[in-house]
Structure 1
Amino acid sequence: MLSRRNALATAALLLCASAVRAEPTVGLAERRAIAAYREGRYPAQQKAIQDAAGFPVPVEVAWDQLTIPGDDKYYSDPAYFETTIFEPLAAGLKQVGRDPMGRDALKAKLKGIRVRYDEKTAPASNYPNGLRFDAGVLDVNWRPFANVADYKDRVEAVVKVLEQGL
């Protein structure tokens, strides 16, 4: 009985250890680069999103999920976060709120925006699958710096998901 318990405990420990090693780690270079982006470029993106919504909607960015190991040298490139995530989000909000009916709907039902990247669930190009509007929160799960030319598709996805939920 004791050896079986030890074997199970050892197996569980090895499984946990392998799961921990499988997770990417964000190093000092990535943390510095994201801090510089958050301080220098992100405030303008956040303001653009809130201006497009027509009110100061809370925007939560899961920076630890958006930071991809080894990509720190690209964070300051506008195509990395802005063209692929923040600008299409703002453009979609602006399109939804283009008239009083849209602005009123956004103010009444949009309680927050969450931006993240989950490698296991983010779509490669079917952008509506990376969006969810639930309980007033627009959850954006898109990979940064991927398919940069798909700006219009991302905007259309934001509009589609919000208009269905509003």
Structure 2
Amino acid sequence: MLSRRHALAAAATLLFVPAVQAEPAVGLAERRAIAAYRQDRYPALEKAIQDAAGFPVPVEVVWDQLTVPGDAQYVSDDTYFGTTIFAPLAAGLKEVGKDKMGRDALSKTLKAIRVRYDEKTAVASNFAKGLTFKDGVLDVNWRPFANTADVKPRVEAVVEVLEKNL
């Protein structure tokens, strides 16, 4: 009976031990580059996304997941995030909201946008598969700085996913 009580006490203790924080996905150089980008460039991109949506839709960017380790020197390049993620997102929203019906559908249904990069699930070129829309949240899972010339297919993917779900 004593060993069972110790086992239960140990199990209970494990339930209340705070989780250990995971190490950052990127190093200091990437975090510095992200901080500079967020300060210098991102506000205009976020405004473009919100203007395209027609309302101040919350945009959550999971920055430490969005940046690829070792890419610090590329983060400030407009093609790293801008051309491959934020500009196509804004252009897709603008296309969907080009008329009153689209703007109304966006403002009524789109609750938030989440931007991230998951190496295990992001696709290289089938951009619609990197987008999900659930419970009013458009989740964007695209690799930054990849296939930088494929802006139009990204825009089309945003339009396709939103029009299907609005």
User: What's the TM-score bracket when you normalise by the shorter of the two chains?
Assistant: 0.7 to 0.9
CA distance, structure 2, for counterparts of residue 75 and residue 162 of structure 1: 28
Q: Residue 114 of structure 1 corresponds to which residue in structure 2?
A: 114
Q: Distance in 2 between matches of 1:95 and 1:61?
A: 22
Which deviations, in whole Å up to 9, do the C-alpha atoms of 1:11-66 show, x marking residues without a partner?
Answer: xxxxxxxxxxxx88411111100000000000000000000000000000000101
> Which whole-Å CA distance do the structure 2 matches of 1:26 and 1:34 have between them?
10
**Other-structure match for 1:38:** 38
CA RMSD of aligned residues (A): 1.1
CA distance in 2, matches of 1:37, 1:80: 11
Q: What residue in structure 1 maps to residue 52 of structure 2?
A: 52
Task: Give a deviation string over 1:59-87, Cα, whole Å, max 9, x none.
Answer: 00000101211100001100000000000
Q: What does 1:57-72 correspond to in 2, within 5 Å? A: 57-72=57-72
What letter is aligned with 1:77? D
The answer to whether structure 1 residue 73 and structure 2 residue 69 are counterparts is no
Structure 1 CA distance, aligned partners of 2:153 and 2:59?
22
Q: Secondary structure at the match of 1:69?
A: coil
**Match for residue 3 of structure 1?**
none
Structure 1 runs not aligned, ≥5 long:
1-22
Equivalent-residue separation in structure 2 for 1:51 and 1:115 (angstroms): 17
Matched, 1:95 2:92: no
Tell me which residue corresponds to 2:150.
150
Q: Which amino acid aligns with 2:161?
A: V
Unaligned runs of 5+ residues in structure 2 are 1-22
Give the ranges of 4+ consecutive aligned residues of structure 1 lying more than 2 Å apart after TM superposition: none
Displacement of 1:114: 0.1
Match of 2:4 in 1: none
Partner of 1:128: 128
Instruction: State the TM-score, normalized to the length of structure 2.
Output: 0.85
1:85 aligns with 2:85: yes
Q: Which one has a larger percent helix, Structure 1 or Structure 2?
A: 1
State the TM-score, normalizing by the size of structure 1: 0.85
Give the drift of 1:151: 0.2
Q: CA deviation at 1:160?
A: 0.2
- AA of the residue aligned to 2:128: P
Which secondary structure does the structure 2 equivalent of 1:148 belong to?
A: coil
Aligned residue pairs total 144
C-alpha distance in 2 between matches for 1:35 and 1:109: 31
